[in-house]
Amino acid sequence: MTEPAHIDFFNTNAESWYVEVILPLALPRNYTWHVPSEMVAAIQPGVRVEVVLGRNKKYAGIVKRLHQEKPAAFEPKDVLNVLDDAPIVYQQQLALWEWMAHYYLCSEGEVMQAALPTHFKLSSETILVFNEEAGEDFSNLDDEEFLVAEALSIRNQLRLTEIQQLLDASHVYPVIKRLLDKNLCFVWEELKQTYKEKRETFILLKPEYHEEDALAELMNNWSRAPKQLELLLAFLHLHKTEGEVTQPALLKKSGASAAQLKGLLEKGILIAEKRSVDRLHSVAREVNINFTLSEQQLEALNDLRNSLEQKAVCLLHGITSSGKTQVYVKMMEEAIKQGKQVLYMLPEIALTAQVIRRLQQYFGGYIVIYHSRFNPNERVELWNKVKSGEARIILGARSSLFLPFQNLGLVICDEEHDSSFKQQDPAPRYNARDAGIYLAQLFSARTILGSATPSLESYYNAQQGKYGLVELNQRYGDIALPEIMLVDTKKIQTPDKSKVIISPDLEKAITESILNNKQVILFQNRRGYSPYQVCQSCGWIPHCQQCDVSLTYHKIKHKLICHYCGTIYPTVSVCEACGNHHFTQQNFGTERIEETLQELFPKARIARMDIDAVKGKHAHDALIQLFEQQRIDILVGTQMVVKGLDFEHVALVGILDADAILGFADFRVNERGFQLMEQVSGRAGRKGDQGKVLIQVRNTGHPVLKYVQLHDYQSFVKAELESRHQFGYPPFSRMIQLRFRHKQPEVVAGAARQIADWLKPVFGAYLIGPAAPVVNRVRNQYLMELMIKLPKDLHLLQQCKDQIQLLTAHLHQQPPYKSVIVTPDIDPI
Ligand code: ADP
Ligand code: ZN
Ligand code: ZN
């Protein structure tokens, strides 16, 4: 790149400078602005500039490129202000955005929108909210900052356009940036406001007593208040064993009173600090790896190291409870010893206190956690820690890959098969596993993909030699994988011919487990009480008025709920079709199971884990903790119980309706079925004795069940790859899905047909559809889908993507189709 410093700024003949700026909008391309000469020196890629778009909309955009190519077609406007002294993202992030926009067919602005914390995205529509906690001490503000701060403290919130009326218009963005930096206000965020972070009082030792001598002297000269000394000792013990000490934990452990603690706080020996439990502030930055790897784990570690010397990506296929985490920990240790950063990605829902605690135990203050529930200020704080390199290990869900890493050495994608790594809506519809590999390459870093049930894509890549492959085939401690038995539900009669919920075999096994003081996990893919109510005489089923789906009955709320749009309806007691009063309930969800269990096992402690029961992260963590502490005997749940949890005392797992898992109409149904059942089974017998799994199913001959029973991933993959090959599905092809959405069914169908017709001459052989999806109306919008199944040919793939963009633009020029929404999804899941 040309170096602006070589230019003589005072030479009026100097050529003009321009910037390409990314705005947080879905614009078809980036626009260009002119840089006034006095700003040239301050501009570099990654800093934000304030620009006007259209007549008077203002935005803070990110500079992608500084150049001297004057746009031929128009006279660019001037940049108004430069907002940052230093870039807020590095070149690698800009490169990631560019790749993502290109690969997933969206704009860089949309990627920027997803990537940046709200605070960095100012526009005329932005609303600022006063930060009450900051207090009203405005003494360190300049006149303009004061003006805005005062107005904010009175009105609580202001639109940016209102602030523009308060100040000289040329100053607004820099002033707001400074107020945000000073923590005096937030950028208002829709939705996120409902999250109340959990705050707790943490107790810390005053820094001067971190010196052993000082502490020894303090204790040796302790004269009065022996209770306080006991309390201090309890604190030191807890600090050593647990790392962080909360006030309730300390009081409980020491048996001391709040007044005694207050005494120590007043003496200035201990400090109390209220803060969010997710933030791991004052843990010492030290590595403490206090375990040794088993022989197999050590071998896997060595293989992994060797493999990563040859290849950028390695797949670690380790069966459930083989100790993959332990192997990652060793790799992470090496990376941070070299001064590198580590990104450790997990599915959001697996990001529990259990995992965090485990890793924190080894890496203390080197670890930071990133998830969507942080408030805007916390996100900025973390952003800056990653950017400065202070944060070394970042544990997060998929969006953590957007953080401004500066020196990334290792990316770990755990549970890599999990479909939640794929973002569905809005754009960018990226897969964080694949994007993570790309990100790592930008830093010449390594990537480890880990799973007990790798996706077929990854396993195939490993087989082809594109990725390395390391297998870990033994559970830690040599515990056998659980024994899996099928319960044929065809053979069981229920009085009202309804579906079997708990078969006699399962009931017996549960009784035995509880007698042995062991715990039980029951899995069902459906939440609610029963998926639908059916009229006994005519078969009528209540449907959502806005979506083409039947409603789910939730007994606890006594309501019918649409799982697609969330609309809640009163229950029906009269059939709308025939007037009959009698309804039967078909199938069953987690609520119904919980109720049945309470009838069967009145003395057992039963809990339910699904999104209705555990709203919010803390409820989820709390439930996991109760289960860990054996204060729950039977846990009933959806997917939530599957994800990477490690419980010691689970002897029995029940899968209540395997037909529902295997009956899905999708080419990935077998893969998903295998993964789900193998992963749920993996929760049984992780420590101690071999566990047991009961699968209730009618279709006992389904081939996937055989592989699950034998825990035979390899044979499953072999068979499944053969059938994928035969039908030309991924990993032997690339899929692109186009989704069409419009209020009128004829219009959406016409638009989908039009695009298909246009694609036909070149891509005719690869088109599937257009067709209406199973649920063809959601929120009063009709849907159509067009699938394109392309051979693995990069050139063809690119040609197809280019065509899609062109044709979509073309479609929107046809009057009837102007407002049809077309969303491309690359590698859909
Ligand atoms: P996976 O992720 O492969 O299912 P985990 O990493 O959760 O397996 O390990 C399963 C259990 O075994 C965990 O409780 C873990 O602490 C324990 N474990 C695994 N390897 C070791 C080791 N080398 N030393 C001590 N404990 C281990
Ligand atoms: Zn009826
Ligand atoms: Zn609905």
The SS3 assignment for 678 reads helix
The amino acid at residue 295 is: E
Where is average pLDDT lowest: 561-565, 740-744, 802-806? Answer: 561-565
Confirm or reject: Cβ of 126 under 6 Å from ligand 1. Answer: no
Which letter does DSSP use for residue 217 in this model? H
Between CA 697 and CA 699 the distance in angstroms is 6
pLDDT band at residue 196 using 50, 70 and 90 as cut-offs: very low
Which letter does DSSP use for residue 455 in this model? -
Q: How many helices (H) and strands (E) does the chain have?
A: 24, 33
Residue with tokens 């999806």: 773
Residue with tokens 């053979």: 491
pLDDT at residue number 39 = 94
Cis ω on the peptide bond leading into residue 602 (within 30° of 0)? no
**Cα 358 to ligand 1 centroid, rounded to whole Å:** 10
Model confidence pLDDT, tens digit, residues 327-348:
999 999 999 999 999 999 999 8
- Between the alpha carbon of residue 449 and those of residues 294, 295, 336, 421, 571, the distances in Å are 21, 21, 19, 12, 46
Element (H, E) at 160: helix 160-166
State mean pLDDT over 89-98: 97
Confirm or reject: Cβ of 550 under 6 Å from ligand 1. Answer: no
The amino acid at residue 598 is: Q
pLDDT at position 193 over 50 = no
Model confidence pLDDT, tens digit, residues 692-716:
999 999 899 999 999 999 999 999 9
Between CA 34 and CA 19 the distance in angstroms is 6
pLDDT at residue number 282 = 53
Model confidence pLDDT, tens digit, residues 15-49:
799 999 999 888 888 999 999 999 999 999 999 99
- Beta-strand relationship, 519-523 and 199-205: unpaired
The SS3 assignment for 659 reads helix
β-partners of residue 345 are: 396, 413
Q: Which of 95-109, 256-270, 472-486, 647-661 has the highest mean pLDDT?
A: 95-109
Confirm or reject: Cβ of 453 under 6 Å from ligand 1. Answer: no
Q: Are 512 and 633 in contact (CB under 8 A)?
A: no
Q: Are 756 and 786 in contact (CB under 8 A)?
A: yes
Confirm or reject: Cβ of 291 under 6 Å from ligand 1. Answer: yes
Between CA 547 and CA 487 the distance in angstroms is 36
Q: Which two tokens stand for residue 361?
A: 């135990």
Model confidence pLDDT, tens digit, residues 119-128:
888 887 788 8
Q: Which two tokens stand for residue 475?
A: 């559970």
Model confidence pLDDT, tens digit, residues 596-623:
999 999 999 999 998 888 776 678 888 8
399 or 527, greater pLDDT: 399
**Cα 438 to ligand 3 centroid, rounded to whole Å:** 37
**Cα 681 to ligand 3 centroid, rounded to whole Å:** 33
pLDDT at residue number 59 = 87
Q: Which two tokens stand for residue 608?
A: 């339910």
State mean pLDDT over 569-576: 88
Confirm or reject: Cβ of 322 under 6 Å from ligand 1. Answer: yes
pLDDT band at residue 508 using 50, 70 and 90 as cut-offs: very high
Which letter does DSSP use for residue 131 in this model? -
pLDDT at position 12 over 50 = no
**In a mutational test of the pocket of ligand 1, which residue from 298, 326, 329, 415 has the highest number of ligand atoms less than 8 Å from its CB?**
326
Name the pTM for this structure: 0.83
* Residues recorded for the chain: 829
pLDDT at position 241 over 80 = no
State mean pLDDT over 281-302: 85
Nearest ligand by distance to the CA of 578: 2
pLDDT at residue number 499 = 82
pLDDT at residue number 479 = 87
Residue with tokens 């109409």: 665
Burial class of residue 745, CB neighbours in 10 A (0-12, 13-18, 19+): middle
Q: Are 636 and 522 in contact (CB under 8 A)?
A: yes
